[in-house]
């Protein structure tokens, strides 16, 4: 610049023109929002707010870690109680089975002893009756033998008498 006149020299004007052209060549992008875009953007934000509200309401109904731990501890207590009751029922069942097995064994022993006793008595009675029947048969046989000899003896006596009388 010339200090006297306040004017710019041609080289300075050229440099400034180049700088202005370079700045003019640099384009910048701008976004323009129309009313339609603005409404959709607001609806999108309202939808996001509703989703956040729903999530917050859901979060209020979700259990906390402490609540879950309490619930799980309660469930463990219930399961332990059920396990104890099952164990007790099993023990009672085993005791009942043991008692029934002992009763069955005792009843079986009693039945076997009774059967052996009855078999012994039956065998003894049968032996007695068999012996008695044998004795009766021998007795009847002796009587029948004696009875069967009577006619023969009578016949012999008759013949002797007749023979003796005929000789005389």
Q: Which element (helix H / strand E) includes 92?
A: helix 65-167
Q: What is the pLDDT of residues 151-165, one digit of tens each?
A: 888 888 888 888 887
Give tens-digit pLDDT for 14-35: 898 888 888 887 877 777 778 8
Query: pTM here?
Result: 0.38
Q: What is the DSSP string of 99-121?
A: HHHHHHHHHHHHHHHHHHHHHHH
């Amino acid at each position: 610049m010339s200090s006297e006149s306040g004017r710019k020299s041609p080289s300075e004007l050229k440099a400034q023109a180049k700088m202005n052209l370079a700045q003019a060549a640099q384009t910048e992008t701008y976004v323009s929002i129309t009313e339609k875009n603005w409404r959709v953007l607001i609806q999108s934000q309202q939808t996001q707010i509703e989703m956040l509200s729903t999530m917050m309401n859901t979060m209020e109904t979700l259990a906390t870690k402490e609540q879950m731990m309490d619930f799980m501890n309660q469930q463990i207590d219930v399961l332990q109680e059920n396990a104890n009751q099952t164990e007790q029922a099993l023990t009672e069942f085993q005791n009942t089975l043991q008692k029934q097995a002992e009763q069955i064994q005792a009843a079986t022993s009693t039945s076997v002893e009774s059967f052996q006793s009855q078999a012994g008595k039956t065998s003894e009675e049968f032996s007695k009756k068999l012996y008695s029947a044998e004795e009766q048969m021998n007795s009847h046989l002796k009587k029948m033998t004696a009875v069967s000899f009577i006619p023969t003896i009578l016949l012999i006596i008759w013949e002797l008498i007749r023979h003796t009388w005929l000789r005389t």
